[in-house]
A and B are shown apart, each in its own frame.
Chain A
């Protein structure tokens, strides 16, 4: 977090990961040929290999591996609670770096990335694209300060569901320090549209353990409510409630088949990225038969 530029931070994290770990399960126009197959009526005649027809008088369809068809939408929470940080940097900065890292990584792979920031309402939306300047635009949007106060998790999910038509990967980055009652329904709706969802819960170590010593007037960053609190006395009750909240979130994700990542802000981002990719590959293998190629061909 000591590097000021978000892009440079993301680039530093991605260093060492670029080794072609990721292959697209989709087929389309690309330079990388995979195989021929027999033409069947209904196939797109654009993919006929006319040279083979001239030579053999048979209709053969040419197949390529499409490496640019993954669309990833990054949903980042920018509410006030994300501005808390006890380790020199805030959760918002950590979340922004994480998001930038993912975006940069996907960009390097040639995937299209989009961004949606939110607090109590949707603030910025960038459609998923892979073109020159788009990554920089995305970084700027991430760096832009938010004017929002509270967190509403349902609104951005509802919005993204209505916005994206094509199947995509949706990564939701938030501290989830808000009621999660409405969240399940929205996630189900998103999954029903065929989108793959990943949840990143970013938390400060002080939130995880209520690691504060001095009694003081505590002020809620979102509601500005104040409370006199002796952390030593309140710790047990806090830990109980907090653990229950996190467990409920985790259980919901498991139930919906959503990958859940709990990230503490003192945890290196590389670890987070590694866990994410590992999970992605595992899940990719698991879910690949269910996806269809954009050219109408079936996945291998």
Chain B
């Protein structure tokens, strides 16, 4: 047995104490009352014979308790020779979590982070299980446990370093809470077996205040998982961020002449003066201010909202930049200047424009301009020659009358390319036109006149056309009376889907796919001769839904953040990276993105997550407050020679903790001693009482 602090054996000398006390006859503490001490003089206490020990068992117990206490304090341990054997070390399961969010783009941070990761990898032993993850908005495995374990022990660190060298900080925000949860779950999964050793997450991050950790609030952190934070610090603390204050769709009118941005300065910043303004790339590729920049004063830890005027004389400005900051990764916002979107609607029919009983009259009034959207309805006679531009620029084509074969063919061609058509026949005579549009012979329309009136029933509110009426407050279509309609067999149209039926069961609204485009068939018109639809509250929303389905009119967010996924209308093809038609697009970089949807170009202003600009360090206790046990990373001193033996001793003692047994034994001996002493005292007292009586 070895001892860590053998000096405590000196405490064992205290054993002499009980021996001396046992030699001295105990001075009684009992008091005897006597009538008067006037005839008495004090006498000194007597000593018993020094050669005679009284209460030998008690003495032994007291000496034993003191001896055990001294032994416990000297921290005994058994030296184990297998300490040097690395296979005897308990394996650890470690997830190294590396921050690759936008804030890590600051000067020197990424290099420092890589150094920390390499240092961590250098410390792991051959038996440890290690996984390398990067995280920004989500954690991504760079080197999973399985791959680490498959790789030979000598190549593991090199492989991990190579994987890390291949990545660099991106532009996304930081979801630290989600990443920690992913890492903790990765630690918990160990091929169905309970991993016996300690589990640890090593977080290498700048731990900026904008790292979102609120996801941990609803997460019960595994008790066996500890977190070690390796914080990397930026050399320049000043970081001001720029954020676009997005207006809502209602206020962003065409008349808007300013763009509002928020300039926020980090809490530990050393600068307060910045310059702000529109920038444009010069011939040399550098971005320079257009016009005079705005001087901005923002104290550390505060933010200011600045209105940047839109220069009318310099169109095409889409970039606002902040200068005078140490770190420029978050100093640019892309802005799509507010403006009115124009949509063209083509009307093919024989209506007189001012005939108040015809469909065109109601259509023009329903599709009046809004600040955000201007709609031009181009009415063409069904028999007139159709210009190619008319069809190409129109988002939606309305057809109410029978068309000549040439025009029908042209329309079908456009529909196949992605155009949206709305066919609302005024009479059953247009059946041939419908047949030609859907490319099927034998499509028949028959006039139907209900006894009193028909009503809409069986409406598919899940379809985007009726989705805006899905709320029970708006879903009542029974007040719209249908005087007459055209009966159509939906089965006759290929790829047809009935979106609404009349109460008689006949289809009211049919959607049919024609190539990339689609055709909506309304079997009743909205004009007063057919129904009350035009004068109902459902008419205008229904038309706007048709326009949106035609690829226009939907309110797009003023800005997107890196990492967001934007849905795309069918038929979108990217100009830069989006080569194939896809349903949505995920933004990975800030800036302006343009995506072609048919003939239209969709523009997206993609900016940085504003939280990335909050680069002041996160309070250390924030993670602990959410129940994550933190262990501080401590640099281990270089161990050589004797100190290594000492360290091994400390480690062995820490593991064995024999001192606990000695303290427990001391307590047990003291308990026995107390009981024995009590019993002895009672016995002596009873003897004395007997003697007195």
Does A229 contact B35, Cβ atoms closer than 8 Å?
A: no
Minimum CB–CB distance for B220 against chain A, Å: 65
Minimum CB–CB distance for A167 against chain B, Å: 34
A sample of 29 inter-chain contacts (CB < 8 A) reads A84-B33, A91-B35, A177-B38, A178-B36, A178-B38, A204-B35, A214-B28, A214-B32, A215-B28, A215-B43, A215-B45, A216-B31, A216-B32, A217-B28, A217-B29, A217-B30, A218-B34, A218-B40, A219-B33, A221-B33, A221-B34, A221-B35, A222-B36, A226-B31, A234-B41, A237-B39, A237-B40, A237-B41, A241-B38
Complexed CA–CA distance, A216 and B25 (Å) = 12
Complexed CA–CA distance, A292 and B27 (Å) = 65
Complexed CA–CA distance, A263 and B395 (Å) = 137
Contact with A along B18-58 (1 / 0, CB 8 A): 00000000011111111111111111111000000000000
Does B28 contact A238, Cβ atoms closer than 8 Å?
A: no
Complexed CA–CA distance, A135 and B664 (Å) = 71
- B693 nearest CB neighbor, chain A only: A88
Does B35 contact A227, Cβ atoms closer than 8 Å?
A: no
Q: Which residues of B contact A178 (CB under 8 A)?
A: 36, 38
Does A81 contact B35, Cβ atoms closer than 8 Å?
A: yes
Q: Which residues of B contact A262 (CB under 8 A)?
A: none
Q: Which residues of A contact B41 (CB under 8 A)?
A: 234, 237
Q: Which residues of B contact A175 (CB under 8 A)?
A: 35
Minimum CB–CB distance for B130 against chain A, Å: 74
Complexed CA–CA distance, A228 and B27 (Å) = 9
- Asked whether A230 and B43 contact (CB < 8 A) given A214-B688, A216-B28, A217-B29, the answer is yes
The reply on A212 being an interface residue by CB < 8 A is: yes
- B25 nearest CB neighbor, chain A only: A215
Q: Which residues of B contact A233 (CB under 8 A)?
A: 43
- Asked whether A225 and B35 contact (CB < 8 A) given A213-B691, A216-B28, the answer is no
Q: Which of B35, B45, B688, B691 has a CB less than 8 Å from the CB of A228?
A: B45
Chain A: residues with Cβ within 8 Å of the partner, total of 35
Complexed CA–CA distance, A94 and B151 (Å) = 105
Does A229 contact B36, Cβ atoms closer than 8 Å?
A: no
The reply on A242 being an interface residue by CB < 8 A is: yes
Does A217 contact B31, Cβ atoms closer than 8 Å?
A: yes
Q: Which of A82, A222, A223, A229 has a CB less than 8 Å from the CB of B40?
A: A229
Q: Which residues of A contact B45 (CB under 8 A)?
A: 215, 228, 230
- A239 nearest CB neighbor, chain B only: B39
Complexed CA–CA distance, A214 and B41 (Å) = 16
Does B32 contact A84, Cβ atoms closer than 8 Å?
A: no
Contact with A along B45-73 (1 / 0, CB 8 A): 11000000000000000000000000000
Q: Which residues of A contact B39 (CB under 8 A)?
A: 237-238, 241-242, 245
Q: Which residues of A contact B37 (CB under 8 A)?
A: 218, 220, 223, 225, 227
Q: Which residues of B contact A237 (CB under 8 A)?
A: 39-41
Q: Which residues of A contact B44 (CB under 8 A)?
A: 228
Q: Which residues of B contact A238 (CB under 8 A)?
A: 39-40
Does B34 contact A220, Cβ atoms closer than 8 Å?
A: yes
The reply on A207 being an interface residue by CB < 8 A is: yes
Minimum CB–CB distance for B519 against chain A, Å: 118
Complexed CA–CA distance, A212 and B37 (Å) = 14
Complexed CA–CA distance, A45 and B666 (Å) = 102
- A215 nearest CB neighbor, chain B only: B28
Q: Which residues of B contact A219 (CB under 8 A)?
A: 31-34
Complexed CA–CA distance, A212 and B40 (Å) = 13
* Known interface pairs A216-B31, A217-B32, A228-B45; 8 further A-B residue pairs with C-beta atoms within 8 A, sorted by A's residue number: A84-B34, A175-B35, A178-B38, A213-B691, A215-B46, A221-B33, A229-B40, A234-B41
Minimum CB–CB distance for B34 against chain A, Å: 5
Complexed CA–CA distance, A83 and B34 (Å) = 9
Q: Which of B32, B33, B35 has a CB less than 8 Å from the CB of A177?
A: B35
Does A216 contact B40, Cβ atoms closer than 8 Å?
A: no
Contacting A at CB under 8 A, from B678-693, are 688, 691
Does B30 contact A216, Cβ atoms closer than 8 Å?
A: yes
Does B36 contact A230, Cβ atoms closer than 8 Å?
A: no
Q: Which residues of B contact A204 (CB under 8 A)?
A: 35
Minimum CB–CB distance for A270 against chain B, Å: 25
Minimum CB–CB distance for A150 against chain B, Å: 10
- B691 nearest CB neighbor, chain A only: A213
Complexed CA–CA distance, A196 and B30 (Å) = 46
Complexed CA–CA distance, A180 and B28 (Å) = 34
Does A228 contact B40, Cβ atoms closer than 8 Å?
A: no
Does A227 contact B40, Cβ atoms closer than 8 Å?
A: yes
Complexed CA–CA distance, A164 and B29 (Å) = 50
Complexed CA–CA distance, A82 and B29 (Å) = 25
Complexed CA–CA distance, A221 and B691 (Å) = 23
Does A227 contact B42, Cβ atoms closer than 8 Å?
A: yes
- A238 nearest CB neighbor, chain B only: B39
Q: Which residues of A contact B29 (CB under 8 A)?
A: 217
Minimum CB–CB distance for B640 against chain A, Å: 65
Complexed CA–CA distance, A229 and B31 (Å) = 10
Minimum CB–CB distance for B147 against chain A, Å: 84
Q: Which 7 A-B pairs have the closest CB atoms?
A: A84-B35, A241-B39, A81-B35, A216-B32, A177-B36, A220-B37, A233-B43
Contact with B along A79-92 (1 / 0, CB 8 A): 00111100000010
Q: Which residues of B contact A220 (CB under 8 A)?
A: 34-37
Q: Which residues of A contact B43 (CB under 8 A)?
A: 215, 228-230, 233-234
Minimum CB–CB distance for A262 against chain B, Å: 15
Q: Which residues of B contact A241 (CB under 8 A)?
A: 38-39
Complexed CA–CA distance, A214 and B688 (Å) = 8
Q: Which residues of A contact B27 (CB under 8 A)?
A: 228
Q: Which residues of B contact A214 (CB under 8 A)?
A: 28, 32, 688
Q: Which residues of A contact B691 (CB under 8 A)?
A: 213
Contacting B at CB under 8 A, from A226-281, are 226-230, 233-234, 237-238, 241-242, 245
Complexed CA–CA distance, A220 and B34 (Å) = 5
Complexed CA–CA distance, A204 and B35 (Å) = 9
